[in-house]
Amino acid sequence: MKILVVGGGGREHAIAWRLSKDPVKHEIFCAPGNAGTAAIAKNIPLHAENIDGIVAWSVEEQPDLVVVGPEAPLVSGLVDALEAEGIKAFGPVAAGARMEGSKLFAKEVMKAAGVPTGRAEAFTDPEKAKAALPGFGLPVVIKADGLAAGKGVVVAETLEEAETAIDDMLVANKFGDAGAEVLVEEFLDGEECSILALVDGETAVLLPSSQDHKRIFDGDKGPNTGGMGAYSPAPVVTDSMLPYIRDRIILPVVQELAKRGIKYRGILYAGLMVTPEGGRIAKSGSRVNVVEFNARFGDPETEAVLPRLGGDFSKALMNAATGCLASGDVVVRPEMSATVIIASGGYPGAYLKSKPITGLDAAAAKGAVVFHCGTKVENGGVVTSGGRVLSVTGLGATLREAVDTAYAGVSEIAFEKAYYRKDIAHRAFGRN
């Protein structure tokens, strides 16, 4: 197949890499790609949000499938534009991508579908939002309604923190249009995990569970980031939970969207909170609640999940895109995986760029798979170009083996002010 992967991060490198492992050899293109994808695909100098450019390239080149990685082009209607030209695309149309593009819309859909989630109220007036805080108790969650690159969520431990978050979004306009409306939301007690589901408009097939590490520092301290690592499977998700997640969370959303005339195809990513016995039960009465929905593969969860998949990945994506998905399209290998993000010092704040990277081949020699998140080729070498620079994944018969392989790879890589967490999968190990 001739396949275009849209995006230039670790998620897109992982997608292209997994497609390159299919039984049949594909012709793979990436727009814009990065230094890593350049080794397995042909990079096209088109930004992921250049809708017109990507559509024009696709009309001329006629790929069999376009796989859209990031959320922004999905929300902006890239799939709609491709389908209008007869180009098959993996990802939801803009109306479906609102499940990520608007937290308020997602809450409305969940409420209509009876999906368990935290209680929330939406506000555009900062004083009314602050007045509602006592009714939610502490901690309380403040969310920007729109896309904020994974940084528009504040878990406030005090009333002052909550009021500051509201002012940042509604008064200081910290997140621009994304924060023009905010949700004040019930805090959910428990442990977070991620479930990525392939969806073809009617059927859903769950991919292996995973757990992201959103905070910048060890012990889940510091500000939220786009994700500092992940591992799969997440032991907080038991086998007995999977039918519940599919039948009470994923499928009801797909069905509710269908009622609204939206045929959802692509990835539906459920960020879940699992409350342990003895924990504070949410108003929903369920111990498994939706924190948020995303409309695409997660990052860095993709780098942990896709290396665990066998079979023909392109067939699974194509069948989801064309409405003929079957459970057998997803083949899960028995190995466990762990992914460590190496970031530029200062991330998620200001960070340096164009710093030479060494040790990539040595990391691979240690058995790790290195996905490029924010890199480019400069003067014949690979240099940093983003806050999250590399995603280093290890596989193993046990989670400990997977983690050790990932960190063995990390130990070989160096660039100025490189930073990474040293406790990936700590929650899983803490269960032992």
Give pLDDT, residue 92: 98
pLDDT digits (tens, 9 = 90+) for 35-71: 999 999 999 999 999 999 999 999 999 999 999 999 9
| Beta-carbon contacts of residue 278 (< 8 Å; ≥ 6 apart) | none
CA distance 74 to 361: 34
Tokens representing 343 are 């970031």
Confidence check: pLDDT of 256 > 60: yes
Amino acid letter at 75? V
Tell me if 250 sits within 8 A of 206, measured CB to CB.
yes
pLDDT digits (tens, 9 = 90+) for 194-236: 999 999 999 999 999 999 999 999 999 998 899 999 999 999 9
Give pLDDT, residue 22: 97
pTM of the entire structure? 0.94
Confidence check: pLDDT of 432 > 70: no
Give pLDDT, residue 39: 95
Residue range 326-330: average pLDDT? 95
Tell me if 156 sits within 8 A of 142, measured CB to CB.
yes
| Beta-carbon contacts of residue 52 (< 8 Å; ≥ 6 apart) | none
CA distance 104 to 10: 28
Query: For residue 330, what pLDDT band results from cuts at 50, 70 and 90?
Result: very high
Residue 171 burial class via C-beta count within 10 angstroms: exposed 0-12, middle 13-18, buried 19 and up: exposed
Q: For 220, left (φ over 0), alpha (ψ -120 to 50), or beta? A: left
CA distance 152 to 95: 21
Amino acid letter at 17? W
pLDDT digits (tens, 9 = 90+) for 384-395: 999 999 999 999
Beta bridge partners of 310: 331
CA distance 109 to 97: 12
Confidence check: pLDDT of 150 > 70: no
CB atoms within 10 A of CB 104: 17
Confidence check: pLDDT of 151 > 80: no
| Beta-carbon contacts of residue 178 (< 8 Å; ≥ 6 apart) | 144, 145, 146, 147, 148, 152
Tell me if 353 sits within 8 A of 373, measured CB to CB.
no
Domains belonging to the chain, first-starting first, are: 2-93 (3.40.50.20), 125-180 (3.30.1490.20), 189-332 (3.30.470.20), 336-430 (3.90.600.10)
Q: Greatest CA separation found in the chain?
A: 59
- Give backbone dihedrals phi and psi of 307, rounded to 5 degrees, phi first: -65, -15
SS3 206: strand
Helix ranges restricted to H, 226-359:
241-244, 251-259, 301-305, 313-322
